[in-house]
Structure formats: C-alpha cells, structure tokens
Amino acid sequence: MPLEIDTEKEFDLEDLQYDFEDSMETDRWDDAPAEIKELFHHLEWNIIDGEHTETTGFIEEALKATVTARTLIAGPMATGIAEVGRRFKMDEYFLPEVMMSAKCMHEALALLKPLIIAEKSEEVGTVVVGTVQGDLHDIGKKIVAMMMEAAGFTVHDLGVTVPPEKFIEAIREHKPQIVGFSALLTTTMNMQWETLKVIAAEGLREDLKVFVGGAPISQAWCDKIGADAYAMDALVAVEKAKACVTQHHNMKGGDPALHAAMLEIDRVREEAKSEQAKTEAEAATG
C-alpha cells in the first residue's frame, strides 16, 4: 500500500526561510511517519541547497518507504523549488544557485518519470506541449507532460523555446486534440498569444483545445487571449484535458461553451476544497 500524505495543505514560504531545523518545526507533512517527515524536509532542503549529487539518494529512500512519485513532486519538490523562486526574487539567490536547484529537480524527475508513466491507463487522446519561444523553463511543463501521459494521453513534448512554426508542424503531424503552451516569464507570455494567432491564421484553431500555463499565467490571461483552458498545476491540467476528450470532444476549440465548461471544473474544485476545509475546521473545534 502506498503511503498517503497530504500535499494539498497550504504552506507558508516563511517556513522555509531559515534552515532545516526550523522547517522541521512546522506542521508540514505532520500526517507522515516521523522518519518520512524528516526525509521530506531533507529532500526539500536538498533542492533549496542545490546539492544535486544527493537528490537521487533521497528519492530512492522515499520510494523504498512506499511514498508515491506524485507525492514527492507535489510535496517536498514543489515546496523546495518554490523557496528557490522566492530567494531568486529577493536577490538572495542568483542564476548559478537556481541552476543547481533546477538540476536537482531534473534528476529527481528523471527517476520518477518511468514510475508515473507506468500508471498509464487506456489511451485517451493526443497532446502537443511546449515552452513558447524565448523561454527556457521546462520543469513545470515536464511535470504536466508526465501527468498527462500517466492519464492516458500520447504526449509530444516539443521542448523549450518553441517557435510558432514548430507548433504548427507538430499539430499537422500528430493531429492532437489539445495543444499546451508553457511560459514562465512575463516577457514570453505574449508568445502564447502570438502562437495562438498563428494557429488561427493557419485554420487549425477549431480542431484544437488550447491550454495555457506557467507561473505568470492566469485565468484572466487565458480569457484575454481566447485560449480554452488555464491550469495552475498538473493535476488541474489533467482533469481539464480529460474533460475535453471525454465530455466535450464535440465542442470546437474557441467555443465559449467549452471555455465555460473548463471554468466550471475550477468552480467545482473550489467548492469541494472549501467544503473540506469547513469539515476539518468543525472536526478540530469538536
């Protein structure tokens, strides 16, 4: 039986500003056995410290303890790289440190990818995904691609800094139901729009459901450029992608009803989340 650990709990980046001992004091992963909680904090700090030669050791140890690949990605790997982002933003870290942390993430993902892909269920559709032109960030896009593959999609990952023509070529070749654009920079998010315009000009828009994601991307941006779906993380991306190929496969890309259906998924998730929070609060107060 895999070990179930809550990775959805909100966490405060302040908890990660000091050192390993301080972060161990927080209530993150309190539902895990003590040695797993400690291991998670080691992995989190391994990513923050960029000690990539030790990353696979922590991952292997966690897998041996039946922690799932998904828990590691959504748990200590996510919190670790989030703190790296904060340090970078605050000028506490510079590019070399961020690159070392990114190396940890890549090594961990390389080890976890086969486990995630092994979950692959029945074939549900085809996705083309890439980071838009000018943007080199690919950790998040890789996670989205892996999760989509596990959910039964055949994924063609075009890599990073993908020009619109390369997307067009891949769409013509693979005929996906979904195309996903990742962008992590405010200076490259506009390339999502540019790429979408080229897709429309080539007459391919109606045959495609267009997904957008990345740190600066929001639902408002998705609405503005006329994409079909925004997903803040890989789990939401998979849920919306599945809905597109099952419930909404007859709808055309760019259809306002499809857009509304995607928003409904967010609304239902939010409602379920607040219901759960309410139940937990009630249980805590007895």
Name the residues that contact ligand B12, by CB under 6 A. Answer: 81, 84-85, 88-89, 95, 98-99, 102, 129, 134-141, 143-144, 180-182, 184-187, 211-216, 231, 233-234, 237
Nearer to ligand B12, 34 or 105 (CB): 105
Nearer to ligand B12, 9 or 278 (CB): 9
Give the C-alpha separation, 9 to 130, whole Å.
29
Alpha carbon distances (Å) from 279 to 46, 139, 285:
35, 35, 10
Nearer to ligand B12, 5 or 241 (CB): 241
Per the rule left: phi > 0, alpha: psi between -120 and 50, beta: everything else, 9 is: beta
The β-bridge partners of 230 are: 212
Q: Give min distance, CB of 203 to ligand B12, in A.
A: 22
H helical segments located in 175-233: 190-201, 219-225
Kindly state the helix (H) or strand (E) to which residue 117 belongs, with its residue range. Answer: helix 95-117
Q: Give min distance, CB of 278 to ligand B12, in A.
A: 26
Q: Give min distance, CB of 90 to ligand B12, in A.
A: 8
Q: Give min distance, CB of 243 to ligand B12, in A.
A: 13
Nearer to ligand B12, 111 or 139 (CB): 139
Alpha carbon distances (Å) from 148 to 18, 196, 225, 245, 257:
35, 21, 23, 12, 23
Q: Give min distance, CB of 55 to ligand B12, in A.
A: 14
Side by side, which strands form the sheet with 153-157?
Answer: 153-157, 125-131, 178-182, 209-213, 229-230
Nearer to ligand B12, 85 or 152 (CB): 85
Nearer to ligand B12, 42 or 70 (CB): 70
Give the C-alpha separation, 153 to 238, whole Å.
9
Q: Give min distance, CB of 168 to ligand B12, in A.
A: 17
